[in-house]
Each structure stands twice: as C-alpha cells, then as structure tokens.
Chains A and B, each alone.
Chain A
Amino acid sequence: MSTLILADHDNKELAPATLVAVTAAAKLGGDVHVLVAGEGSQAVADAAAKIAGVAKVLHADDAAYGHALAENLAPLVEGLMGDYDYLLAPATSTGKNVLPRVAAKMDTQMISEIVAINDDGSFDRPTYAGNAISTVKSSDAKKVITVRGTAFDKADAEGGSASVEAVSGAGDSGKSSFVSAEIAESERPELTSAGIVVSGGRALQSGENFEKIIEPLADKLGAAVGASRAAVDAGYVPNDYQVGQTGKIVAPELYIAIGISGAIQHLAGMKDSKTIIAINKDEDAPIFSVADYGLVADLYKAVPELTEKL
C-alpha cells in the first residue's frame, strides 16, 4: 500500500496544509511519497524531504508547473499514479482545482475534504455546510482524496530524510496560461494556519471599520483577519477573508468573532477552534451557543477597549 501526496506550495515554501495531508497518509499506512511540481522549486522539494514520515519526494521542475495550472498538472499526476493506491492533497485552492481533474481521468469518484479516516477504510466528510457528517466507503480500486486542513495534526516538518527523485511529465498542454496574480502581501499570518484569528461580520458596516476596529486587535494579538460571508457579500473585505463552508475552514487556538451572528455556514468554518470568543450586541445570536466566552456589548466600544487593555 502506498500514497502519493500532491504538495501545495508557491515554489518557495511548502504550504503547512501539506503536513496535514502527510498525517492523513500515515494513518492510511504504507509508504508516503510527496510530489512537488513547480518551477524553481528546489527549496520546496528539500523541505518536503525533511517531513517526518515521508519516504520519497518526486520533483517535477518545469516552467509548465510553475503556476499549478490544472491542465498541466493533472496529466503529470495521473501518469505517476500507476504505482500508488491513494492520491491525497490538502483541500487548498490548488488541491480542490487539480484533484477532481485527475480523479476523472482515472475514472475514480473522488472523496472531498475528509475529516476522519476510520478503521474499516471508510472516510468521514462534512456535507450540507457542516450540518451533516457523511461516512462513505469507496469501491474504486484507487482512491483520490482531499484532506481538510484542520482535521488532522500537522506532521513534523523536520526529522525525515527522504530521497528526492526527478520526474517529468508532458509539460504544457497549451490550453491555459497564467496572466497575473494579486496575492495580498500581509505581515499577518495566513488565515488557515494562524494560531489566532480575529473575524468580523456584517455589523462592522464597512471596510473602513474593519481597518479601524478588527485589524488593530488582530495586530495586537499577532492574529490573522477573517470575515463572515455576509461581510464578504457586502464588499467590506475580499473573498479570501471568508471563513465558512464556502470559504476557508480554520481551527486556530483562539477565534474571536466580532459582530458575527453565527450563521450555520460560518460555524462550519470555525467551530473546531480550540477557544472561541464572541462579541455581539444581540444576546440571542447563535454564535454564543458555540462560544467559550461571550461578551454582549456594542463592538464599537468593546473592541477598541479590548485592544487597548491587552
């Protein structure tokens, strides 16, 4: 039995979510190999080789793989799958984009965003915006799976000494090309891997208030900034701030929900956080039913006071 993991990275650093997939792969048993496909991505391959529990790193370095285009990556991954029983990837935007394309080429019904691996070979995955957990068993010969980034502990990034083997694929499909990217440069930690997350909801009323009220508290705590879907819908902040079933799934040590009522779809994205604090002026807000500490207060007074006193 063996597993291939498609690593998520930006050609410089390995995304921490990859370490979560390694833990899931270890639970499946057998050899764990990691595929690093990129351009000028030697540092990522070296980092993958150091992950505890990884036996081998396959490194495909080619201009065609530099932007993780699904059209180019899928044939490469499919071509390597002859030797493996499982294909795993973290459920990041790249994993979600590429893996179904590989699964269809393999005539396999993929299993999305698993949160548990059971002893009988079945998998648990959330459905209906996290309102139901389905346990499914696959009858496909090979399994293709994305792993929710908060569902397993991260494997140790150090301690392994895997061999690195160069591999190559067909390269550029000619069907798609990269034009540009606007990746937000931020001093703050990345939302899905941050230890603390401060999120704001519709009650913030504007993007300006996010800057004035949410961001100073986040910076005081060294936290990432998140938002509810309502705040994203209203245009206060970009979509990549969105925490929830259709956005990002987070499980930090501390989650502070400010002016967020706690719609089911938001709770699905953050209810596995270790400690949850909610600040909302509506004492009946559903967010209080999942919060460890709730403060019923006007956020415009309470949050600046909190920031100042911390």
Chain B
Amino acid sequence: MKILVPVKRVIDYNVKPRVKADQSGVDLANVKMSMNPFDEIAVEEAIRLKEAGKADEIVVVSIGEQKAQETLRTGLAMGADRGILVVADAMPEPLAVAKILAKVVEEESPDLVILGKQAIDDDSNQVGQMLAALLDWPQGTFASKVEPADGKVNVTREVDGGLETLSLSTPAIITTDLRLNEPRYASLPNIMKAKKKPIDEKTPADYGVDTAARLEVLKVIEPPKREAGEIVPDVDTLVAKIKEKGFAA
C-alpha cells in the first residue's frame, strides 16, 4: 500500500500571530515556521501503518514557497520515503490545493491520502473533503482511529457528541484529528539521512492548475479585545456575583 501525505508549512504553533498594521495580513517575516500540527499527525499515522507492515511507501507533498522544502525534510526525517514540492508564489486557496493534489494522486496512485483536518493558519478545514470530491473517493474526516483491512479502511471519527466509525472502500481520503496519535520527534541520524532522500520539484503549471484566488481578502484585523474584569477576594464574593447575575438561586 502506498500513502500520500500532504503537509503545509505554517506559522509555528507556539508563536502568537501578529496582524500587520496595514491590515493586509499576518506578519510572517522572521517568524518561526513549522509543519502544520495536524499534518504531523498525518505523517505519523502513515509511518505507523508502514511499521505495522500495512504500507510500503510514503510520499510527502507540500505546496507553497520554496522554503516548504524544509517542511518536506521534516516529514522525510520522521520516516517518509520521498517528497514532492510544488512551488507556488502565493499560497493557493484550498480548492486550488485540492486540484493540484488530485493531479499528484493521478500520477502517484496512492491507496490512501492522509491529511491534517485543518491548517492552523487559514483554519479552513476543506482540502481533504475537496480532494475526495474531485477524485470521487470516500472520505473519513476528523479521524481518531484508522484500521485498513482488505480493500477497505475503517475510520473512527470525532463527531459532535462522540465517535462514529465508518467503513470506506479504498482508495480513500483520511483527515486527522488531535487524538489519532502523538507524532514522534525525528532523531539526529534520521535528520541526516533525510537530507539524501529525493525531493521532486514542480509548479502548479506542470499540473495545469489555475491557482488564481477566488476570494479577495479585503482586510485582516485583530479581533476585538475583551476587557479584563475584577479579581474577587474569595468564594463567597464569587457566589454573590453568580447569584446577582441570576445564574443560581
């Protein structure tokens, strides 16, 4: 079984994003960038399937600026076999990303594509579902458990109120939720080895995909700040406040 894992280079999870003064976007100059956390979970899941003997090749693909190569190297250091870098000037929107990935899938013919459920920059939560639509494949989104078996894959999904398990025919799309696994850290020897793993470089034009934006961003602002209230001295005062507001008799 072959697994394709798309990974996105985003602002590091621990960095507080700052909105630019001219309201044109978030300032990413000199900011630490990392692999999108949900994509790390996707890479980890693919590696675990390979370690369990259920997969034999893992291809990581990233779409974005040239530096997204670093993100691919992270995936390769974790254990992926090779990478594909699709260099785009501006980050394409989810639909265009899905269209590029659909072309990559046509060339690579993976049995599973495992993606993060959303990127922590644009928070769209769209690409996996869109890719499934374009390929007419089934989708197991927000996965907390993935169990492949004979032409099928059982996916347990995090849904409102609990969990739901679906059986999907393969090939299939899976998007990862938080509790699927805990991604590993790449060891130093593996980081060194990853430098020798092949990365193929492409552009959206190679795949014949138009990446023109459909959404015009008019402005990006900071959310309204909430004013801090008062610190109460003890539980009795807090009880009085809660009763005053009518939340308890």
Instruction: State the CA gap A283–B247 with chains docked (Å).
Output: 25
Determine the main DSSP class of A at the interface with B.
mixed
Interface string of A101-137 (1 = CB under 8 A from B): 1111101111111000000001001111111111111
Q: A192-B160, A291-B228, A293-B230 are in contact. Are A132 and B17 (CB under 8 A)?
A: yes
Q: Verify A181–B160 contact, CB threshold 8 A.
A: no
Q: Verify B123–A96 contact, CB threshold 8 A.
A: no
Q: Verify B166–A178 contact, CB threshold 8 A.
A: yes
**Which of A71, A74, A238, A302 touches B235 (beta carbons < 8 Å)?**
A302
Asked if A296 lies at the interface with its beta carbon under 8 angstroms from chain B, I say yes
Asked if A160 lies at the interface with its beta carbon under 8 angstroms from chain B, I say no
Interface string of A250-276 (1 = CB under 8 A from B): 000110000000001000000100011
Chain B contact patch, size range: 35 or more
Q: Verify B238–A306 contact, CB threshold 8 A.
A: yes
Q: A70-B129, A177-B167 are in contact. Are A297 and B235 (CB under 8 A)?
A: yes
Interface-lining segment among A58-66, A182-190, A201-209 = A182-190
Asked if B120 lies at the interface with its beta carbon under 8 angstroms from chain A, I say yes
Residues of B near A100 (CB, < 8 A) are 94, 125-130, 133
How many residues does chain A have at the interface if contact means C-beta atoms less than 8 Å apart? 93
Residues of B near A109 (CB, < 8 A) are 93-95, 213-215
Most chain B CB within 10 A, of A92, A246, A253, A271, is at A246
- With contacts defined as CB atoms under 8 Å apart, how many contacts are there between chain A and chain B in the complex? 258
Q: Verify B248–A239 contact, CB threshold 8 A.
A: no
Q: Verify A113–B123 contact, CB threshold 8 A.
A: yes
Of all chain A residues, the one with the shortest Cβ separation from B11 is: A128
Q: Verify B95–A135 contact, CB threshold 8 A.
A: no
Q: Verify B166–A69 contact, CB threshold 8 A.
A: yes
Q: List 12 A-B contacts (CB under 8 A).
A: A92-B160, A94-B160, A101-B139, A132-B17, A132-B221, A133-B220, A138-B216, A177-B167, A180-B164, A182-B164, A240-B160, A310-B248
Q: Which residues of B contact A (CB under 8 A)?
A: 11, 16-17, 19, 25-26, 38, 93-95, 98, 118, 120-134, 137-142, 144, 154, 157-169, 177-179, 213-223, 226, 228-232, 234-236, 238-239, 241-243, 245, 247-248
* Chain A to chain B: the 8 pairs with minimum beta-carbon distance, closest first: A100-B129, A104-B130, A292-B229, A104-B133, A109-B214, A175-B138, A100-B126, A183-B162
**Contacts A127-B121, A138-B216, A240-B159 supplied; 18 other A-B pairs, CB < 8 Å:** A70-B132, A99-B129, A100-B94, A100-B127, A109-B95, A110-B95, A122-B218, A127-B26, A128-B120, A131-B223, A132-B26, A137-B215, A139-B216, A181-B162, A183-B162, A288-B231, A295-B235, A309-B239
